[in-house]
Amino acid sequence: MNSTIPLYSRTLHMYSLCLMVVMLAVLTAPTTTQKPALDDFSVSVPDAPITAWSGSSVSLPCELSPLFNAEPLEVRWYRPDNSYSPALLYKDHKIQEAPVDPRYRGRVSLTGGMERGNVSLTLERVTLEDRGEYVCRVSSEQWFDKASVFLTVNVLGSIPVLSVAEARGGGGQVNVTCLSEGWSPQPTLSWKNKEGTEIRNKQEVLNTSDPQGLVSVSSWLLYAPSYSDWLACTVSLSEEAKREGRILPHIYTAPTAVPGVSKEAFIVTLVLFVLSLVIICALCSVIHWKRRGSMWSSSQMSRNRSDQTELGQKPAETKNLIEGAENTVQRPTQQRAAGKQVHLEETKNLIGWAENTVPRPTKQRAAGKELNLEGAETTVLTPTEQKAAGKEVNLKAETNNSIEGAENTVKTPTEHIASGKEVNLKDWHQVKGFKVPSENIILDEKTAHPAIRVIQGKRAFYLKEKDTENPSVRMHIHVFSKESFSSGRHYWEVNVKDKTTEKLSWYVGVARENVERRCNVPLTPQNGFWILSFDKEKGFHVNTDPQSPITVAELTIVGVFLDCDRHTLSFYNVDTASLLYTFTDVKTSNYFPVFSPGQRDKYTIRII
């Protein structure tokens, strides 16, 4: 009995030791993770687009599911249409230098932590061209999966520019316009009054895109004029990304203008007023000269009477008086030319008249009459008195002649034109005075070639034929204006080149009313086209037959001057204020301005 107990205890103790050894071995054994199967994973990306601002950095998320170390795998980020030239290629545990798209070289990296299964792409210095779809593709030797991420690039446009113009048929209202350019994506536009209340009625909004994909937004509305209540135009992508412009909806007039009177009427009135002053001054000068001559004559007669009274009645004095009359009646011009010689006919007539008027001393004494010196005095007539006595002097006629002379001295521009005076075509500053208001020349989209896009009736640019819905076989790419001219003089300007960009081709000019607009007719004067054109290789030329080259170093703004009455069309270099060329036989009943942005680039031409 006593001998069996120690044996049992020893056995139990042995089992306990074995169990402890096994447990210790389990606890101290190294932990190992089962390697996931490389043919059983998926790629996970967000459903919503990723937004980035132009010039910033952005991360395009992409990770494996389930999460495991992606370093042994191949990771390829590319655009859908360019898988063989990816934006980034990770292979053989490093980022490959080739083949990659050169547009992304130095701007992309994998910064998500590949050991944790994160293969997100980081793109730096984002541009507008980076927007669009990106594919994340992860592959092993047995399996691959891919998913797409969409990137939206935001560009903040310009501050809205507001302007006010008279509304046509607006019932006393004004037309307020708002324009902002250079947005991406398409923004929203809203009008608010001074109290911050949004205005929704009587407004129009137009969105247009340029060749770079940036959006221009414009709007206009009719509003009651106000001197104190301003309007606000807000263009925004979000509550944080917005631009705002303000304006008082009132048309300001020049200080010299009269309410209700046009500028042209005011100028005509001012010219007539100045002309009236000139006429009045001329009339006053004539009257003053007449009165001064009469006063001098009366003074001279008084002195003669006084001298004769002192000397008494002497026959010799009568003779001297007659001789004085002979010497008095002389034409100033004849006195100067002939050394003060007396005109014989006038002298004889005067002597005969004096003898009949003044009795001879012998006869006077015989009749018992004293010598009448006053009678002799009447023979001594000054030129002014002779005219007053009937010598064909017509004060009214002289005054009228003086007034007509003054009128002929001061002529208005309208009188010059009416009298047949030519406009100096070489004087650009004179020609510019006939400039047509910008709102009177609007591009007619209905006449535009399918490859032309028209912006707000003032700008036109070329869109490649393959990008249009209805490609055309028409040779000539142009658009006509809605308005035409049939008489008078008209001048307008076209901006054909920006300071930073250079257009490769364009042409501007006029066309007759019944010209064939939809056929490939040559653009010649015989077919109703008179144009100035430019081509990068050919230079500047006009479409005479044969073409005439125009020598000009640089041309940014073209001035076009049409004289319908004299059938001439002239082109000017506005930069140098110089004449380029004049067509002298432009004859038709109606003239339509024509514009072409060319078909070699997408830069716009603009009516200014």
pLDDT of residue 392: 41
pLDDT given at position 300: 61
**Mean pLDDT to the nearest integer, 552-575:** 93
Q: How far apart are CA 95 and CA 208, in angstroms?
A: 41
SS3 letters across 161-228 = EEEEEECCCCCCCEEEEEEEEEEECCCEEEEECCCCCEECCCEEEEEEECCCCCEEEEEEEEECCCCC
DSSP-assigned beta bridge partners for residue 466? none
Query: Which uninterrupted H or E stretch holds 275?
Result: helix 263-311
Decide if 565 contacts 487 (C-beta within 8 A).
yes
- Low-confidence winner among 150-159, 261-270, 415-424, 579-588 (lowest mean pLDDT): 415-424
Going by pLDDT thresholds of 50, 70 and 90, the confidence category of residue 9 is low
Cα separation of 569 and 583, whole Å? 5
Q: Where are the domains of the chain?
A: 42-154, 161-247, 276-398, 428-607
Task: With both helix axes pointing from N to C terminus, report the angle between 344-357 and 315-328 in degrees, rounded to the nearest 10.
Answer: 150
pLDDT of 6: 60
The highest-level CATH class for domain 42-154 is mainly beta
Mean pLDDT, range 78-101, rounded to an integer: 92
User: In the predicted model, is pLDDT for residue 145 greater than 60?
Assistant: yes
- Residues 311-346 have pLDDT tens digits of 444 444 444 433 443 444 444 344 443 444 434 344
Report pLDDT digits (tens) over 438-482.
788 899 888 888 888 888 877 777 776 544 444 444 567 899 999
pTM above 0.85, yes or no: no
pLDDT score of 95: 93
Strand order in the sheet with 121-123: 58-60, 121-123, 108-110
Q: Could you identify the residue written with the tokens 């049409």?
A: 562
Query: Is the pLDDT confidence value at 61 over 60?
Result: yes
Q: Report the chain's mean pLDDT, rounded to a whole number.
A: 76
The answer to whether residues 558 and 572 touch, using CB atoms and an 8 Å cutoff, is: yes
Q: Which helix (H) or strand (E) holds 387?
A: helix 383-388
Distance CA 508, CA 488 (A): 20
Q: What is the pLDDT of residue 133?
A: 96
Q: Is the pLDDT of residue 518 over 70?
A: no
Quote the DSSP letter at residue 368.
T
Q: What is the mean pLDDT of the segment spanning 91-112?
A: 91
| Residue 129, pLDDT score | 92
What percent of the chain is predicted at pLDDT more than 70? Answer: 67
Report the SS3 class of residue 344.
helix
Give the mean pLDDT of 189-201. 87
What's the CATH class of domain 428-607?
mainly beta
132 pLDDT band, cuts 50/70/90, is very high
Helix or strand run (H / E) with residue 345 = helix 344-357
Amino acid at 393: V
Residue 485 one-letter amino acid: F
534 Cα distance to chain centroid = 21
* pLDDT score at 462: 75
The CA distance from 37 to 451, in Å, is 56
Architecture of domain 161-247 in this structure: Sandwich (2.60)
Give the span between the Cα atoms of 439 and 483, in whole angstroms: 10
Is it the case that residue 214 has pLDDT exceeding 70? yes
How does residue 375 score in pLDDT terms, banded at 50, 70 and 90?
very low
pLDDT band at 199 (very low <50, low <70, confident <90, very high): confident
Query: Comparing 161-247 with 428-607, is the CATH topology the same?
Result: no
pLDDT for the residue numbered 115: 92
d(CA 159, CA 181): 8
List of residues 6+ apart from 184 with CB closer than 8 A: 54, 128, 131, 153, 154, 155, 213, 214, 215
* pLDDT interval class at 367 (50, 70, 90): very low
Mean pLDDT of 349-359: 42
